[in-house]
Structure 1
Amino acid sequence: MFGHYNVFVFILFFFSENGTDYQEMLLEMTGQKTVPNVFINKTHLGGCDRTLQAHKDGSLQHLLSGENEAYDYDLIVIGGGSGGLACSKEAAALGKKVMVLDYVVPTPKGTTWGLGGTCVNVGCIPKKLMHQTALLGTALQDARKFGWEFDETVKHNWDTMKTAVNSYIGSLNWGYRVALRDKNVNYVNAYAEFLEPHKIKAVNKRGKETFYTADKFVLATGERPRYLGIPGDKEYCITSDDLFSLPYCPGKTLLIGASYVSLECGGFLAGLGLDVTIMVRSILLRGFDQDMANRAGAHMEEHGIKFLRKYVPIKVEELEAGTPGRLKVTAKSTETDEIIEGEYNTVLIAVGRDACTDKIGLDKVGVKVNPKNGKVPVNDEEQTNVPHIFAIGDILEGKWELTPVAIQAGKLLARRLYGGSNVKCDYINVPTTVFTPLEYGSCGLPEEKAIELYGTENLEIFHSLLWPLEFTVPSRDNNQCYAKLICNKLDNDRVIGFHYLGPNAGEVTQGFGVAMKCGVTKEQLDGTIGIHPTCAELVLYICWSSRRSGLD
């Protein structure tokens, strides 16, 4: 296989008395202790499978001939979201020549944004700020019970909020550009497409084409909202990509979908005083603990958010143009032949997201992609089936779609590629929070998944209703907050699932997430002294209530 290249390649086999020492040394250097273990021109390639794949995709010839030194860049990152930025800056800090390509395709409504990806521009950041806006409205209502007196009518101004939120996001966009420049990362606002294994075409907003080559690539293209494929969806509906910079108050709003995006957006819109309806095809928060999801939904319903359950839209029509206008939505029952109609000012689609991988030329270089959702399968080092192409973030098959996960994976990938590290991203026990009006934080397994893996008889599930102290004076939401610990009886009652519904869920869940990373058991939580009076403390005291033991 190597003869026509006239290059000598070391392939080490361990038959000597020092074989174990060599294995440990190579494991530390490469993360691989199996043989053969191939190095070419001081570059670690890997074993037989990776060597054969490199031969097929052309990267082997580059390594053997030394042509990799002639590439324009050591690393090109496609996608300027949180993961891509983290990876590129880390690689540059390790002395590599790095480029980031980022381009936002406008939504059907024409919405676009700057550097930073979904989280910064149309996700976590504006979502949390608008959620905070709604919480302040609730705080105003509570304030009178605590003695605050104000006579004037309190109302919300959408434009003031939108301008403030987007001004902050603009400062973040600028900050990311400055950070890349300071790290000597070349940022190009252009759409990337593979032409050859090591060559891409970049097209800017004016249509100008530029070509670049690199030794390695990282795919960090993220996802965009999925549309319904029904008449009127792209013409008249918006998605979360449009909502946060919407130039007018959306008015009476229908949200289609039961994802966390739908529930979060519906929650804060209702908190601003708007008439909100959520259309649900099947269940709330698929993939999350259903007990907790239903409790979060019940709280929303008790606070005025309407749910249309077991319906799907089949048509959206415009009755009147405007800002907002009037739309008619026709929907069909998923259980009967019933057809219903409703009028709304705004319709927001939140039925899931698709990976942005179908138009970047992955088929030309042989990268395998799940044809159903565009997701990219990778190994435990975020490497695709093409050895010099890696992927991180929301486009990964079977991994968390969370910003901190993408950042962690990006940093660790750069350190493995260029810093001699062997540390891999740990996708187990990742804490997260859904910012519904009553926030839901979780870490580890949902109850349904725990039962599937371990069996009901091997689980001890501790749970309790909570009433936060700050809710008592205004007599609000008594016994609607909730906490649950799922423990594995086969492993010393180790906590394998943490779930909390209540205020400040992100802050509460983060600490328990650390504990679960350390393998915390129920006995250790019982021995932990709480901070009084807090909601987190109440989670420590739910030892008296266990479904499986029959105690109450």
Structure 2
Amino acid sequence: MAKAVQSHVKSLNWGHLVQLQDKKVKYMNLKGAFVDEHTVRGKSKKGETTILTAENIVLATGGRPKYPLDVPGAELGISSDDIFWLKDSPGKTLVIGASYVALECAGFLTGVGLNTSVMVRSIPLRGFDQQMAHLVTDYMASYGTRIFWKCKPIKIEKLDSGKLQVIWKNLESDIEERESFDTVMWAVGRAPETDSLCLDKAGVQINHKTGKVIVGANEETTASHIYAIGDIAEGRPELTPTAIKAGKLLAHRLFGKSTELMDYDNVATTVFTPLEYGCVGLTEEEAIGRHGEDSVEVYHAYYKPLEFAVAERDATQCYIKMVCLREGDQRILGLHFIGPNAGEVIQGFALGIKCNATYSQLASTVGIHPTCAEDVNKLNITKRSGQDATVTGC
């Protein structure tokens, strides 16, 4: 399986190189750093130097997984970048972190039959709707993933057996605990690749707390001819399709006659955990924060996918939530969906929300039976009513 994944990644890289060549783009495998605001020095693996000058420069170096600096033995762990490049099965694995990367990897490892645990310091899926996030972790726990809540790693030691002993503190009880694992995987966030770029020589400012490049609406940095897109740009979603779209629009503005800017509002995304979580727009917490609790209406439903019903699987965590303005036609502010194929479901609804769809418009749409998506069209119970939100036959 690992070989198949590696082959797929290599084929993608090769495909990109071929497309660049076809478009007459010169690809140079060099590590770059600024000399001045229009000059970049590139260094090859052999140490050979190439000097490049340009009228416009685009920074798109992305990010890499973080390793905690305050945990002795942290270097004994691996990151999500390493998981499919291991020569042997990771065996009993502890995933430290609760980001989508952490939960996706833990769900996958559990799914292939490995003893997998997740250590969560504070909350799961920070930045996502927290009711939905906890439904995701509830399903993972029922699926077989152990979750250590409110725990912080203190130290990792390599035992004579070759196993890794993890020592952590339970932040609620203040008790120190320990357990041995075959593999420890860090998933505590990603750091932007900006440290080695010598950005100060080009007049490009960064947020020193995050290391990310400060950009305007047109992706322009504090140096007017230098742009930043993707994960290194401050305040942008760390999503590949978002970066690709922003890059295309930037190219059209630089070399075409376009003035269209990237719209970062209502970007849909999905967390590919064993039970997928797709969302677009505001979380319930964000909507209440912006508009006030009295101005927000939340429609919700617990539903049972047909494939769960036939196989008699537990559907306790299959849940839909639509966050709307309470007044008028009730414009939809956010849609959150947990269930099979959530990514496929949320993509279509993202267009409607982008077009300022309202609850009344959605309610007038006929669903496709017997899909999970049709349960979005049938939403009619509000949280405010206190009624049972379990979907019935009618």
Taking the TM superposition and a 5 Å limit, the aligned residue runs for 1:99-138 are: none
Is the CA contact 2:101–2:187 (under 8 Å) kept in the aligned structure 1? yes
RMSD: 1.1
Q: Find the counterpart in structure 2 of residue 232 from structure 1.
A: 73
Q: Find the counterpart in structure 2 of residue 548 from structure 1.
A: 384
Taking the TM superposition and a 5 Å limit, the aligned residue runs for 1:230-379 are: 230-234=71-75, 236-320=76-160, 325-379=162-216
Distance in 2, Cα, partners of 1:412 & 1:491: 35
| Structure 1 position 211 matched with structure 2 position 51 | yes
The structural deviation recorded for 1:499 is 0.1
Distance in 2, Cα, partners of 1:521 & 1:362: 45
**Aligned with 1:186: secondary structure?**
coil
Q: Find the counterpart in structure 1 of residue 63 from structure 2.
A: 223
Q: Which of 418, 437, 444 lines up with 2:281 in the alignment?
A: 444
**Aligned with 1:165: secondary structure?**
helix
Q: Find the counterpart in structure 2 of residue 403 from structure 1.
A: 240
Distance in 1, Cα, partners of 2:273 & 2:54: 43
Is the CA contact 1:320–1:327 (under 8 Å) kept in the aligned structure 2? no
Distance in 1, Cα, partners of 2:29 & 2:284: 44
Distance in 1, Cα, partners of 2:191 & 2:327: 39
Distance in 1, Cα, partners of 2:160 & 2:12: 37
Distance in 2, Cα, partners of 1:363 & 1:247: 41
Question: Residues 213 and 344 from structure 1, CA distance in 2 versus in 1: closer, same or farther, beyond 3 angstroms?
Answer: same
Distance in 2, Cα, partners of 1:188 & 1:498: 43
Is the CA contact 1:279–1:308 (under 8 Å) kept in the aligned structure 2? yes
**Aligned with 2:207: secondary structure?**
coil
**Aligned with 2:196: secondary structure?**
coil
Q: Find the counterpart in structure 1 of residue 333 from structure 2.
A: 496
Q: Which residue type is aligned with residue 533 of structure 1?
A: P
Distance in 2, Cα, partners of 1:512 & 1:265: 27
**Aligned with 2:16: secondary structure?**
helix
Is the CA contact 2:66–2:191 (under 8 Å) kept in the aligned structure 1? yes
Q: Find the counterpart in structure 2 of residue 538 from structure 1.
A: 375
| Structure 1 position 473 matched with structure 2 position 314 | no
| Structure 1 position 193 matched with structure 2 position 33 | yes
The structural deviation recorded for 1:183 is 0.5
Q: Which of 159, 164, 176 lines up with 2:4 in the alignment?
A: 164
Question: Residues 491 and 176 from structure 1, CA distance in 2 versus in 1: closer, same or farther, beyond 3 angstroms?
Answer: farther
The structural deviation recorded for 1:291 is 0.2
The structural deviation recorded for 1:550 is 3.6
The structural deviation recorded for 1:320 is 4.1
Unaligned runs of 5+ in 1: 1-160
The structural deviation recorded for 1:169 is 1.4
The structural deviation recorded for 1:336 is 4.3
**Aligned with 1:535: secondary structure?**
coil
Q: Which residue type is aligned with residue 189 of structure 1?
A: N
Q: Which residue type is aligned with residue 220 of structure 1?
A: A
The structural deviation recorded for 1:168 is 1.5
**Aligned with 2:40: secondary structure?**
strand
Distance in 2, Cα, partners of 1:255 & 1:209: 40
Unaligned runs of 5+ in 2: 389-394
Q: Find the counterpart in structure 2 of residue 176 from structure 1.
A: 16
Distance in 2, Cα, partners of 1:519 & 1:222: 32
Q: What TM-score does the superposition give when structure 2 sets the normalisation length? A: 0.96
Q: What TM-score does the superposition give when structure 1 sets the normalisation length? A: 0.69
Distance in 1, Cα, partners of 2:233 & 2:334: 23
> Deviation per CA, 1:310-356, whole angstroms, max 9, x where unpaired?
111111111147xxx41100111223431111100000000001111
User: Which structure shows the bigger proportion of residues in helix conformation?
Assistant: 1
Q: Find the counterpart in structure 2 of residue 3 from structure 1.
A: none
Q: Find the counterpart in structure 2 of residue 507 from structure 1.
A: 344
Is the CA contact 2:138–2:317 (under 8 Å) kept in the aligned structure 1? no
**Aligned with 2:373: secondary structure?**
helix
Distance in 2, Cα, partners of 1:491 & 1:413: 37
Distance in 2, Cα, partners of 1:330 & 1:478: 35
Distance in 1, Cα, partners of 2:25 & 2:40: 17
The structural deviation recorded for 1:491 is 5.4
Distance in 1, Cα, partners of 2:160 & 2:11: 36
Q: Find the counterpart in structure 1 of residue 391 from structure 2.
A: none
**Aligned with 1:244: secondary structure?**
helix
Distance in 2, Cα, partners of 1:306 & 1:299: 11
Taking the TM superposition and a 5 Å limit, the aligned residue runs for 1:518-533 are: 518-533=355-370
Q: Which residue type is aligned with residue 171 of structure 1?
A: S
> Deviation per CA, 1:424-476, whole angstroms, max 9, x where unpaired?
00000000000011000000011111111111111110000011001112111
